Amino acid sequence: MQATLALEDGRIFAGEGYGAPGEALGEVVFNTSLTGYQEIATDPSYAGQIVVMTNPQIGNYGTNEADNEAPKPYIEGLIVREFSPVSSNWRSERVTDEYMERYKVPVLAEIDTRALVRHLRTHGVMRGCISTSDTNVESLVAKARSIRKMDGMDLARVVSTPTAYSFAAEDSLAETGNSLLPDNTSSDRSLLHVVAYDFGIKRNILRMLTREGCRVTVVPAETRADQVMELKPDGVFLSNGPGDPEPVDYAVKAIREMLGRVPIFGICLGHQLTGLALGGRTYKLKFGHHGGNHPVKNLRTGKVEITAHNHNFAVDPESMNANDVDLTHVDLNDNTLEGLRHKSLPLFSVQYHPEAAPGPHDSNYLFHDFRKLMDEWKR
């Protein structure tokens, strides 16, 4: 079937449609990862967005339930150069075309994704519409322009779990099918209780926390600080998530009320909310950071880590109080702030994704640092 992408500035890309027929509306962003399209599709941080993959061949190793980062895809649509109609991998349970159709995700293929990405890099992210039914250019552009912009949009409460639930090492083993205890976990190691805010949390974050000897209680985004403290946590984790951090004022309030009372570790949206809670400001990037190959320098060690990113907003380093906060990580592509640590309180956060999925494992150590911080706080 034929499919068309219309951007809000009138740029049109016509190609072949796969996945689910119909229309997709969302903010168009590009991801530079070579693999991991299923993890990307099921990352709740992509809610409200259409994702363009820069790697030309997508879908060739199929899909399987174990690689889902959430129960379903959250992307509005997928755009690729070449979409494989078959899969060739021993782990594949369903070809990608069938997977996208099952979850009602339209796919646009056979377009010049290089031209589209260059357009977005030059002009910034844009609202767009993918359609397999409407071919009227003016109509499609009008639909793209009708979408609400991501600025000022609170999507954390939309993707968050409605009720609290528990996740322990046994759950991690059941998901992976591994008969051994997770890395860094031993049967006689005392479990620490982590309360994780779900602003759009990924499953691999939960797995990484259990590998550090934690049992995790996942709570809704709007959970109050007093409700969290009643659970007697050894640490609080602030997850990734979609949308603009500034409207998520309820989470900022909760973080402020927990400062100094319990160790806190935040990533992605959790990092941005941490910056706001410490009196900082956030701003929207021109085309965001999306991919598994971003070089980030750890200013404390001098080492460069290759990291996974998925965010459209960033914390303004100039807005942070240098008397209270150390800036710990910086993006070597554009010098944006990638990490901070409070000088006197048990709190640190990073903008990127140390759990990867997909992406490199250079930053896995941050979960061990969180475990160490909790151990020290208990003494």
Residue corresponding to tokens 């890099």: 121
CA gap 43, 291 in Å, rounded: 12
318 given a catalytic annotation? no
| Residue 59 φ then ψ, to 5° | 100, -5
User: Which one is catalytic: 39, 268, 289, 311?
Assistant: 268
Report the length, in residues, of the chain.
Answer: 379
268 given a catalytic annotation? yes
353 given a catalytic annotation? yes
The closest alpha carbon to 340, from 316, 358, 361, belongs to: 316
**CA separation, residue 275 to residues 101, 139, 155, 193 (Å):** 39, 41, 18, 24
Partnered with residue 314 across adjacent β-strands are 283
CB 241 within 8 Å of CB 176: no
3-state DSSP call for residue 302?
coil
Residue 299's contacts (CB-CB under 8 Å, 6 or more residues apart) are 327, 328, 329, 330
Burial of 55 (C-beta count, 10 Å sphere; 0-12/13-18/19+):
middle
Q: Please report the DSSP string for 201-264 in residue order.
A: --HHHHHHHHHTTEEEEEEETT--HHHHHHT--SEEEE----B-STT-HHHHHHHHHHTTTS-E
SS3 content of the chain, % helix, strand, coil (to 5): 25, 30, 40
**Helices and strands (DSSP H and E) totals, the chain:** 11, 19
CB 274 within 8 Å of CB 340: yes
The closest alpha carbon to 308, from 277, 353, 272, belongs to: 353
Residues labelled as active-site residues = 268, 353, 355
